[in-house]
């Protein structure tokens, strides 16, 4: 093939045309223009022929037509017959590919979008869906467009499995047998610079929220009771440490009668020597269990903290620390009167956490 050099403007034009035929769902033109784009970019011709399953002569013909007639040489009719559709097994393979992520599929990014999925389906199965149908197809397969979350790479899956299948059922049985409350405990800090969230706004005008940039936070200890949704909390502007944690536990014990079960994570001030001594001194009242390391998703109070942020800090400006404190306290006070809502926030998660609840 004679060496042909494409100008940058021509390459951009071909790219734009490829996007248009992808949207139109015309597989014949997608193949043709993809080959032209590959040639324009200087990609290996043999690889293009294998990828698009065409002969060398076909590639020559397409290139010659483009050079002589530009887009006028393209067929403007769609192929007759019903468009191809994915089989049941192909849909399952697509589901597994989306679940595994684009990097596993050979892409150099970590986020799927409709165009990438459209391209993957075409390359894998030779089926071209309209890009706007891809979203509907994803929903039909039980997939949704979600924001990812961080999960520690230090997770001990065996410890997490034992918690779900052994530790939690045993704790639940113990509580029911002894008629003890189960408290899930945790701490959170609400920053004075606020927090951002989605909201409705005019198109083309991203919502702006003022921020002071002050790196100061209002800290809150909290526990929620599994069976009743009872919520006990204590705010502070001081640092989290063993002393402040012990003071909070004293408050919890003062508000409750008899023994109680406390489930906590592995924060340093939860497991420090001073805290361990405090728990030992109050072993007649406190039965403490540790969640698996790096498992905040196993603590249902995390849902409550999200609710507080929504009510108190999302998209809000706090020029003064006192205003932040008041906003958080108002949200906490309101939630403390809504045991049913707290049970709902917690119960959905814990039902997923363990099967014994469904038998309760």
Q: What is the pLDDT of residue 30?
A: 82
Q: What is the pLDDT of residue 350?
A: 60
Residue ranges per structural domain of the chain: 8-140, 161-359
User: Token digits for 222?
Assistant: 């909290």
> Quick check: 143 pLDDT over 80?
yes
> Quick check: 132 pLDDT over 70?
yes
Q: What is the DSSP letter of 167?
A: I
> Quick check: 356 pLDDT over 60?
no
How confident is the model over 145-162, as a mean pLDDT? 80
Per-residue pLDDT tens over the stretch 56-88: 898 888 888 888 888 887 776 555 445 568 999
Can you spell out the DSSP letters for 44-98?
A: -HHHHHHHHT--HHHHHHHHHHHHHHGGGGS--SPPSSPPP---HHHHHHHHHHH
Of 278, 300, 282, 303, nearest to 291 (Cα)?
300
Distance, in Å, from the CA atom of 271 to the CA atom of 293, rounded to the nearest integer, reads 12
Please name the residue that has the structure tokens 């990014």. 109
User: Token digits for 296?
Assistant: 């905040």
Per-residue pLDDT tens over the stretch 233-268: 999 999 999 999 999 999 999 999 999 999 999 999
How confident is the model over 155-160, as a mean pLDDT? 85
Q: How confident is the model at residue 50 (pLDDT cuts 50, 70, 90)?
A: confident
Q: How confident is the model at residue 355 (pLDDT cuts 50, 70, 90)?
A: very low
- Give Cα 96 distance to the centre of its chain: 17
Q: What is the pLDDT of residue 302?
A: 92
> Quick check: 28 pLDDT over 80?
no
What kind and span of H or E run contains 264? strand 260-264
Rounded CA Rg of the chain: 30
Distance, in Å, from the CA atom of 89 to the CA atom of 26, rounded to the nearest integer, reads 24
Q: What is the pLDDT of residue 84?
A: 63
Residues in CB range of 312: below 8 A, 6 or more apart: 190, 327, 328, 330, 331
Distance, in Å, from the CA atom of 253 to the CA atom of 223, rounded to the nearest integer, reads 11
Among the four given CATH numbers 3.40.50.12500, 3.30.420.10, 3.40.720.10, 3.90.1530.10, the one describing domain 161-359: 3.30.420.10
What is the SS3 assignment for 226? coil
Angle CA(90)–CA(94)–CA(100) in degrees, nearest 5?
145
């Amino acid at each position: 093939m004679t060496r042909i050099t494409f100008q940058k403007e021509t390459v951009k034009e071909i790219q734009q045309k490829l996007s248009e035929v992808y949207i139109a769902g015309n597989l014949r033109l997608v193949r043709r223009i993809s080959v032209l784009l590959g040639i324009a970019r200087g990609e290996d011709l043999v690889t293009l022929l294998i990828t698009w399953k065409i002969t060398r002569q076909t590639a020559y013909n397409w290139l010659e037509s483009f050079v002589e007639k530009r887009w006028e040489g393209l067929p403007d009719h769609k192929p007759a017959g019903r468009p191809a559709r994915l089989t049941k097994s192909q849909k399952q393979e697509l589901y597994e590919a989306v679940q595994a992520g684009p990097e596993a599929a050979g892409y150099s990014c970590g986020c799927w979008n409709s165009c990438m999925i459209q391209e993957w389906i075409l390359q894998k199965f030779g089926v071209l869906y309209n890009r706007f149908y891809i979203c509907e197809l994803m929903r039909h397969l039980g997939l949704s467009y979600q924001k990812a979350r961080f999960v520690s790479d230090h997770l001990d899956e065996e410890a997490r499995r034992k918690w779900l299948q052994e530790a939690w059922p045993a704790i639940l049985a113990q509580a029911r047998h002894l008629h003890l409350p189960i408290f899930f405990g945790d701490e959170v800090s609400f920053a004075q610079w606020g927090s951002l969230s989605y909201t409705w706004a005019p198109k083309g005008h991203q919502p702006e929220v003022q921020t002071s940039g002050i790196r100061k936070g209002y800290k809150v200890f909290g526990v929620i009771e599994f069976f009743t949704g009872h919520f006990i909390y204590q705010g502070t502007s001081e640092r989290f440490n063993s002393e402040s944690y012990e003071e909070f536990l004293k408050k919890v014990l003062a508000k409750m009668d008899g023994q109680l079960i406390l489930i906590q994570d592995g924060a340093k001030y939860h497991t420090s020597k001073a805290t361990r001594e405090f728990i030992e001194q109050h072993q007649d009242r406190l039965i403490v269990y540790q969640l698996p390391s790096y498992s905040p998703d196993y603590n249902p109070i995390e849902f409550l903290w999200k609710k507080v942020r929504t009510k108190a800090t999302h998209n809000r400006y706090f020029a003064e620390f006192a205003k932040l404190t008041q906003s958080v306290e108002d949200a906490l006070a309101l939630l403390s009167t809504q045991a049913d809502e707290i049970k709902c926030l917690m119960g959905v998660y814990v039902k997923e956490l363990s099967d014994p609840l469904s038998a309760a």
